[in-house]
Amino acid sequence: MANLGNPKATIELIQKHGITFQKKFGQNFLIDAHVLNKIIEAAEIGKDDCVLEIGPGIGTMTQYLAEAAGHVAAVEIDKKLIPVLAETLAGYKNVTVIQGDILKTDIKAIADRYNGGRPMKVTANLPYYITTPIVMGLLENDIPVDTITVMVQKEVADRMRVGPGSKDYGALSLAVQYYAKAELVANVPPNCFIPRPNVGSAVIRLTKYKEKPVRARDEELLFRLIRASFNQRRKTLANGIGNSPELPFTREQAAQAIGRLGLPAAVRGEALTLSQFAGLSDILERV
């Protein structure tokens, strides 16, 4: 079977099957062997691993994963690509292709069936329009996942890993960092894909924490506070909390809690660390 990391093989396959790229599925096929190898290396995939691949497309990364892993379960939403995957993965006995929407797929059942319920490693070249729901679904829910190594829009990768004070720092940064350690693996230019996307991409690796880095007595309140503080970025944190329809606190209550943390009254949410948000949440929980 032709190695799809070779652009010529990918173009021939696309022409042979008359594949049209589905904008609704955010399809951009990776055609750079160097980047593919970097993803496998960063994910630290070995023969003892079961890998969940989200959106295999025509099977480019799946071929590389199958060479490295014990088993690959690949979930593809586009029904038209299932026959193509049957062809490109015909030589691999350790790959299972599942047709379906990853947001509606029982991932725990996949782990039970193919990995004895043990945590899997996730890899994906994610459609940019749906990156956040997929990543947060993998992190928030009680799913047996160890690491998540994914290709995303560069801007989103930056938001996932930055700290306070950066323009990219926001609710997504804090949510991801509450559940996982985020590390940039590689920046990937548009010419590594067919068709070329309009933006730069990046590979990011998220390693799920066995124990969360901060403790908040009320996790739901913590995330409501975080959302409120970034919904109105230009406002002070006290105003953001006081104006939020999601929260029952007045501006005065918020200001008092912020003062108890030792922070200035005019501080904005973008200046607070995850630990400070957890502290604020614990103070307000008692109000």
Q: What is the pLDDT along the chain (287 residues), one digit of tens a residue?
A: 678 888 899 889 989 998 887 766 777 889 999 999 999 999 999 999 999 999 999 999 999 999 999 999 999 999 999 999 999 999 999 999 999 999 999 999 999 999 999 999 999 998 888 999 999 999 999 899 999 999 999 999 999 999 998 999 999 999 999 999 999 999 999 999 998 999 999 999 999 999 999 999 999 999 999 999 998 888 999 999 999 999 999 999 999 999 999 999 999 999 999 999 999 999 999 98
Q: Please state the pTM of the whole predicted model.
A: 0.93
Three state DSSP letters for the chain:
CCCCCCHHHHHHHHHHHCCCCCHHHCCCEECCHHHHHHHHHHCCCCCCCEEEEECCCCCHHHHHHHHHCCEEEEEECCHHHHHHHHHHCCCCCCEEEEECCHHHCCHHHHHHHHHCCCCEEEEEECCHHHHHHHHHHHHHCCCCEEEEEEEEEHHHHHHHHCCCCCCCCCHHHHHHHHHEEEEEEEEECHHHEECCCCCCEEEEEEEECCCCCCCCCCHHHHHHHHHHHHHCCCCCHHHHHHHCCCCCCCHHHHHHHHHHCCCCCCCCHHHCCHHHHHHHHHHHHCC
Domain map of the chain by residue range? 7-208, 219-285
Domains 7-208 and 219-285 share a fold: no
Superfamily covering domain 7-208: Vaccinia Virus protein VP39 (3.40.50.150)
Superfamily covering domain 219-285: rRNA adenine dimethylase, C-terminal domain (1.10.8.100)
Which pairing describes strands 71-76 and 95-99: parallel, antiparallel, or unpaired?
Answer: parallel
